[in-house]
Amino acid sequence: MKKQNGFTLIELVVVIIILGILAVTAAPKFINLQSDAKASTVQGLEAALKGADSLVQSKSLIAGNENVASTATTPPTVIVDSAGTTVALNFGHATAVWDDSLENALDINAAASGTTAEWLYKEVTASNIIYFYPQGEKDPTATDAGTCFVKYTNSVTASAGEFEITSTTTGC
């Protein structure tokens, strides 16, 4: 009679169980899906802001108020939907504030504070900047600044200034 070599069914089941336990405990340490998801979400908001700005700027060009400052006697606006919702402008781009500007250009759930909104925002009025960052991330303007945000800048003036939409995802 020949002697058979191989593993028994019990030995194979034990090895599979041990591999399963290792996979469940070790895999999350090597695959950081939450960080990647937050970074992708921030980049998605950056793209949404750029798309919204493109539409707002196009409407501003059609209305002929692309060279008018937000500080004009009659501040420029554009209508963005059939309900008559307007976006406040500064030289053809939405002003860097939430109320009556980016709030009407974007379809996101954002708030200045709290825990129920998906996005938080921080306005830096003196620099004409607004930051958007995911709930649970640090404020980008704080002393221990967060590094997971979208920055919208509209400091355009008649002679200079900057318009820029950027994202930072190093700390997501």
Does any domain span residue 22? no
Does any domain span residue 28? no
Q: Does residue 141 contact residue 126 with C-beta atoms inside 8 Å?
A: no
**Residue 136, number of CB atoms within 10 A of its CB:** 11
Output the pLDDT for position 159: 77
Output the pLDDT for position 1: 60
**In terms of Cα–Cα distance, which of 132, 133, 69, 121 is closest to 95?**
69
Output the pLDDT for position 50: 96
Does any domain span residue 23? no
Q: What is the mean pLDDT of residues 82-109?
A: 93
Does any domain span residue 96? yes
**Residue 78, number of CB atoms within 10 A of its CB:** 24
Does any domain span residue 9? no
Q: Does residue 147 contact residue 130 with C-beta atoms inside 8 Å?
A: no
Q: Does residue 28 contact residue 153 with C-beta atoms inside 8 Å?
A: no
Does any domain span residue 53? yes
Three-state DSSP class for residue 87 = strand
Does any domain span residue 10? no
Q: For residue 97, what are the domain limits? A: 35-168
Q: How confident is the model at residue 33 (pLDDT cuts 50, 70, 90)?
A: confident
Does any domain span residue 60? yes
Q: How confident is the model at residue 105 (pLDDT cuts 50, 70, 90)?
A: very high
**Residue-wise pLDDT tens digits, 142-171:** 999 889 999 999 999 887 888 999 999 999
Q: How confident is the model at residue 2 (pLDDT cuts 50, 70, 90)?
A: low
Output the pLDDT for position 34: 83
Q: How confident is the model at residue 117 (pLDDT cuts 50, 70, 90)?
A: very high
**Per the structure, how many domains does the chain have?**
1
Residues 6+ apart with CB under 8 A from 149: 42, 131, 132, 133, 137, 140, 167, 168
Q: What is the mean pLDDT of residues 103-118?
A: 92
**Residue-wise pLDDT tens digits, 4-26:** 677 788 888 888 998 888 888 87
